[in-house]
Structure formats: structure tokens, C-alpha cells
Amino acid sequence: MKTLQLLTLTLFLNLTAFSNAQDASNDATWEETISFISENLKYAVLESLEQKIRKEDLGKNYARISNKPKHSVQESFLKTHYSSKRMSDNSTSNAYRETALNKLKMVTIEEETNDNLTTYRVTLILTGDFSSIKINDYEEKFTDKAYIHFDDKTLAKRMTTAFQHLAYLSNEKRKQSKF
């Protein structure tokens, strides 16, 4: 009887250890997650719902038209570039954003609706002011958040999960570097 119990316990422990090893091996690495994010950033939409303005509103001072943001990931930084044109004075400005992905703390997703347009805003929350915004190469400010908008709910959720995994990996790296 004791032999049967011992055999059952050994089998249970081996199966548990094997399943845990399988789970750990299925986790994506930093590089794999970055690759997934890089491949799917091309589906990001305009940075603000204000970009989808009705034609009759274009004469107002606050109205602006922006081109599609260009996102890329280089050396653990999310880099974004877009330009916008203010209708009131016909001026154009270029905006550049650099966000340190190794400083990710948390990621959220929100649904935003304006008229009949729905987008999903993925918010990257950092451990400090590690996201810089530079406008026209001279005006720079730092913040602890960055935003990416998607119009596809499924993709927005997948990107949120990918960024959350990066936040987890970043946290693990920070824990290891303290020792």
C-alpha cells in the first residue's frame, strides 16, 4: 500500500514539475515580444480622436489634421513621429516621442468614442518621466505615460497583453539588477 502511495506521489510531483516547465518555456522573451509589437504597430491609428473632424469644423481655430503616426521600436525605445497642421494659421509642427520600454510599469486599455468613431487607447504607464515629446526640435517635455490608438478591438487587446508582458519582464529585470 505504501509503495502505491509513494508511486502516486512521485508521479504527481513529476507531472507537476513537467507542466510548470512547459508553462515557463511558453513565455515569450523580450525579443519575441518586441518583434510582435514592431510588426503590429503599423495598424495604429491617429493619435487623437480630434483628428476625425467633420468638414464644417475645419475652420475653427483648434482644428488640426495629422498624418498617421509612424511607430517603431529601436533599442528598447518606442519611437513615434507625426506631423500636424493647424487650420487657423496653416502652420505645421512635427512631434517626436521616445518612450523607454524597459521602464514600463503598467498598461491599460480604454474604449474612446467620438461621433461614430470608436478607437481603443492603449496607455503605457512608466516608472517615472521616461517618455519624451519633442515638438519642432526645440520644445521638449517629459511624461510618465504614452498612448497608442487602435481601431481594432482584438488587436488592441493583443497589443495590451504584449505590452503588459514587457512590463512584467521589465520589472523582473529591475528586481535582478538591485542585487
Give one DSSP letter per residue of 148-162, joined into a string. Answer: EEES-HHHHHHHHHH
Phi, psi (rounded to 5 degrees) for 155: -65, -40
Written as one letter, the residue type at 11 is L
Whether the predicted pLDDT of 17 surpasses 60? no
In a domain, 10, yes or no: no
Is 60 among the domain residues? yes
pLDDT tens-digit readout, 93-105: 888 999 999 999 9
* Cβ contacts of 158 within 8 Å, gap of 6 or more: 40
Confidence of residue 167 (pLDDT cuts 50, 70, 90): very high
The amino acid present at 18, given as its one-letter code, is F
User: Could you tell me if residue 3 is inside a domain?
Assistant: no
In-domain check, residue 4: no
- Is the residue at 16 inside a domain? no
pTM of the model: 0.73
State the total domains in the chain.
1
pLDDT for 27 equals 82
Q: Is residue 21 part of a domain?
A: no
In 10 A of CB 22, how many CB atoms? 9
Residue 8 placed within a domain:
no
- 43 falls within a domain: yes
Q: How far apart are CA 171 and CA 78, in angstroms?
A: 17
Q: Domain of residue 64: give its range.
A: 28-177
Q: Which three cell numbers stand for residue 176?
A: 535582478
Query: How confident is residue 87, by pLDDT bands cut at 50, 70 and 90?
Result: low
